[in-house]
Amino acid sequence: MRLFPREIIIGTALGVVTSIIVSAAVLSSPSLADRLGVLSTGWVNGMLVVELVRMCLVGALVLVMIRQRHGFDRRGLGAVNAIAVGVGTWLVLTVITVGAGLVTGGAELGWGLVTNLGIWTAGAVLSAIFVSPGGPSRERNQYLERLDRERAQGSWG
């Protein structure tokens, strides 16, 4: 199984940004928060479905990027990369959450962090269903090839 770090990093960043945007949108709209049941005491609420769909879209975008640039012949390869995106998103947002909690004095490690790991990883893996395997379809990009060549030579980083 081959991992594609560039696409995984882009997907993780996209997952983090979309999570922050969705959370801000829900928290800034009391009626939307009420409709999604964000403030309810139940374990399953509408926000879990929103997060699942969000990560499925992020995962699908990443898998399309991988297929266009590198191609992949099995859905398993896509699923492994999607898992990496889900776990990467979870790691970054968990560090941000715990760090913000430590700064504000409200650090709280709860089941929400575990739930997020499951939901975000499952959503990303579901995207492998929607993206079919195939060969590279993007035309050669001289800039990306130069970056790959320079990285292989150790010219930067």
In three state form, how does the secondary structure of 69-108 look? HCCECCHHHHHHHHHHHHHHHHHHHHHHHHHHHHHHCCCC
pTM for the whole thing?
0.78
Q: Indicate whether 40 pLDDT > 70.
A: no
Q: Which residues contact 157 (CB under 8 A, 6 or more apart)?
A: 151
Q: Can you tell me the distance from the alpha carbon of 103 to that of 4, in angstroms, rounded to the nearest whole number?
A: 34
Mean pLDDT computed over every residue of the chain: 84
Q: Indicate whether 154 pLDDT > 80.
A: no
Taking only the tens place, the pLDDT of each residue in 112-141 is: 778 888 888 999 899 989 988 888 876 777
In sequence order, what are the beta bridge partners of 49?
none
Domain positions in the chain are: 5-153
Placement of tokens 């959450």 in the chain: 97
Confidence (pLDDT) at 76 = 86
